[in-house]
Amino acid sequence: MDTPLLRHRSLLACGLLLPLAATQAQAVDADDTVIVTATRTAESVDDTLASVTVLTRADIERLGPSGLPELLAGQPGVDVSSTGSFGKFTSLSLRGTNPGQTLVLIDGVRVGSATTGTAALELIPTDQIERIEIVRGPRASLYGADAIGGVIQIFTRPGAGSGWQASATGGGFGTWSGRAATRGEVGDTRYYLTVSGLTSDGYDVQRDGAVGSFGPSPIEPDDDRYRNTAVNLGVNHRLANGAELGAQALRAQGRTDYDGFPNRTDFVQQVLSAHLGGEISAGWYSRIALGESRDEADNLIDGADFSTFDTRRSSAIWQNDLSLPGRQLLTLGLDGWRDAVDSTTAFTEDTRDNWAVFAQDQIDLGRHQLIVGARRDDNQAFGSETTGNATWGVALRDDLRLTASYGTAYKAPTFNDLYYPNDGFYAGNPDLQPETARNAELGLRYDLAPFTLSASVFHNDIDDLIVFDAANNTVNNIDRARIQGAESSVEYRVGNWRGYAALTALDTENRATGADLPRRANLTSRLELDRTLGAYRLGATLLAQDGRYDDTANTVPLAGYGRLDLRAEWQMAPQWALLARIENVLDRDYETAATYVQPDRAGYLTLAYRTP
């Protein structure tokens, strides 16, 4: 059978020889090489058995993206579709899975809307982000629902040390932004504070009257503005017995305009968390964390109130890590959260609880490493779900490692899926069951200085997909999907040169219809090249994708595209830098969601101040 994966087998073979953990080499200092998301315990990025990408604060400042979607686009396994730049609705597919099948955490707290089931990544300002860990592959045995494609964790907490940072940016589409950050230590107490703001006149994101997956677009020829102000603060205190007590808060609020009915949303994204952790005895580390995330949206039509959807998730976790004889690390935990909805729409249920127990054993056998884990969730809405995973790694040589893994995962139905009231056009289905998945993966990592090469191939079967049942104006578990693909990347660092290339190849199929899953490109590539010349640094990024379909029936095609961005930095003084970037240098017209145009060529200039 002729599939996209087979048609591109030569490219795929080349990609597999250039392998994947792009971020694994993006870390520069010792702090950057430690990750926690893959196993819920600290480990070196060089030692992890997971497929991981890490983006640091240095990467964010070097690339200077307009928003978080632009930063994530084209990373291994990541496919981003958006209805425009500057805070417009964005969906992210990780390894070909649906947007709601990727779990998003901010500082360890689950985030996202309980009604839609997705996280508003477009509303999280990059000025508030210290680092991002992207873990690909199922992680339900550690985190529970929604981690079918993987987990994206955003860290807002800065690293150790003291100092100030400030920056101001101006550029295309009437865009202005600023950031000020400070951190320091007083005795055994560390603190930090970051304040940021962005305003943009935007552009008209939707082509008037164009026909897409949902019919003709509205006639609304105006620029779609965006405003976002955010603050992030926290404090950590080391107690006399070595334990640590801490709390942190992130709040971003503003408005985003768009074309349609309604045509404006006033939003709040908020995450609060607190933790206490320390050694109970030799070899036993225990940590308790409490958290709350809010996704609030007030929708308006030409300034008049239309609807409100406010969701809140309160969570608690108790995790214990025990070092056992035989070089084992056993993790045991209790995990629970409550979702609540406050809306002008009267949902038939507005709260639900989820409680879980989980266990993981990491075993070091010299050249061989083994990780096994299991989790049992009890959800008030649909009952119990058990998930598990097993990962094996072997060092074929000191610089070459092979990994194999198998895991199961599930996606919980959303409040819209289960409880939306019958309005004559749609009604939720309280009898829905979770979507379930089985994933197998093979990976290879090769450290051949000055190159870091990695690659993986994966196969994912997803059952009981929740889809709209037009005959009954509701949703049902009626579809199945098969996703297979490969990821590869190469990182090159020598002298004043830095190069990075990533390639993702996907073959997706709705098993009920034979159609491709919508908005998934068969091939996605990202290339980065940077050169330092004394006080100057020059760089370029090329993002390219081939064609795909916008709709489930595969009747609305989206053309492939290539986008080139250029950047330059001048270190004027030890603490001052001037950065310039030009996005979409070739001024290409392209869409990642039908009828919604991506921004034309635009330039931006940033003045930055950083203390050592």
pLDDT in tens, 105-127: 999 999 999 999 999 999 999 99
User: Could you tell me the pLDDT band of residue 12, with boundaries at 50, 70 and 90?
Assistant: very low
Residues 6 or more apart in contact with residue 138 via CB below 8 angstroms: 147, 148, 149, 150, 387, 389, 407, 408, 409, 437, 439
Write down the pLDDT at residue 470: 79
pLDDT at residue 10 is higher than 70 = no
Would you kindly state where each structural domain of the chain is located, as residue ranges? 4-610
Is the pLDDT higher at 402 or at 4?
Answer: 402
- Mark residue 7 as left, alpha or beta (left: phi above 0; alpha: psi -120 to 50; beta: remaining): alpha
The model carries a pTM of 0.92
Phi and psi at residue 415, to the nearest 5°: -65, -35
Please give the structure tokens belonging to residue 411: 């996606």
Please give the structure tokens belonging to residue 313: 């998730």
Please give the structure tokens belonging to residue 384: 């119990």
Is the pLDDT higher at 179 or at 20?
Answer: 179
pLDDT at residue 210 is higher than 80 = no
Strand-pairing partners, residue 548, are: 558
In the numeric block, the tokens 């249920």 are attached to 349
Write down the pLDDT at residue 213: 60
Write down the pLDDT at residue 448: 87
Q: How large a percentage of the chain has pLDDT more than 90?
A: 83
Write down the pLDDT at residue 160: 63
Question: pLDDT digits over 218-245, tens only?
Answer: 777 889 999 999 999 999 999 998 999 9
Report the pLDDT averaged over residues 7-34: 36
User: Could you tell me the pLDDT band of residue 215, with boundaries at 50, 70 and 90?
Assistant: low
Write down the pLDDT at residue 217: 67
Give the HSE-up count for residue 291: Cα atoms under 13 Å, Cβ half-sphere.
24
pLDDT at residue 4 is higher than 50 = no
pLDDT at residue 319 is higher than 70 = yes
Distance separating alpha carbons of residues 484 and 482, to the nearest angstrom? 7
User: Could you tell me the pLDDT band of residue 211, with boundaries at 50, 70 and 90?
Assistant: low
Phi and psi at residue 166, to the nearest 5°: -155, 145
Report the pLDDT averaged over residues 249-261: 94
Please give the structure tokens belonging to residue 186: 């007083």
On whether the CB atoms of residues 481 and 517 are closer than 8 A, the answer is yes
Please give the span between the terminal C-alpha atoms of the chain, in angstroms, as a whole number.
Answer: 59
Distance separating alpha carbons of residues 460 and 466, to the nearest angstrom? 17
The neighbour count for residue 583, using CB atoms within 10 Å, is 25
pLDDT at residue 19 is higher than 60 = no
Distance separating alpha carbons of residues 359 and 489, to the nearest angstrom? 32
Strands 150-155 vs 102-106: parallel, antiparallel or unpaired:
parallel
Average per-residue pLDDT in the chain?
91
Question: pLDDT digits over 554-608, tens only?
Answer: 999 999 999 999 999 999 999 999 999 999 999 999 999 999 999 999 999 999 9
Write down the pLDDT at residue 206: 87
Distance separating alpha carbons of residues 44 and 52, to the nearest angstrom? 11
Burial of residue 128 (CB within 10 Å: 0-12, 13-18, 19+) is: buried
The neighbour count for residue 335, using CB atoms within 10 Å, is 21
Write down the pLDDT at residue 24: 30
Q: Which amino acid is at 308?
A: T
User: Could you tell me the pLDDT band of residue 424, with boundaries at 50, 70 and 90?
Assistant: confident
Write down the pLDDT at residue 214: 62
Residues 6 or more apart in contact with residue 236 via CB below 8 angstroms: 189, 190, 191, 244, 245, 246
User: Could you tell me the pLDDT band of residue 33, with boundaries at 50, 70 and 90?
Assistant: low
Please give the structure tokens belonging to residue 452: 């870091």
Q: Which fold has domain 4-610?
A: Maltoporin; Chain A (2.40.170)
Write down the pLDDT at residue 162: 84
Distance separating alpha carbons of residues 607 and 612, to the nearest angstrom? 16
Distance separating alpha carbons of residues 76 and 596, to the nearest angstrom? 24
pLDDT at residue 32 is higher than 50 = no
Alpha carbon of 52 to those of 33, 134, 311, 408, 462: distances in Å?
Answer: 11, 6, 30, 18, 22
Phi and psi at residue 603, to the nearest 5°: -115, 150
User: Helix (H, G, I), strand (E, B), or coil: what is residue 470?
Assistant: coil
Report the pLDDT averaged over residues 413-424: 93
Length of the chain: 612
Write down the pLDDT at residue 471: 81
Instruction: Give the H/E segment covering residue 71.
Output: helix 68-72
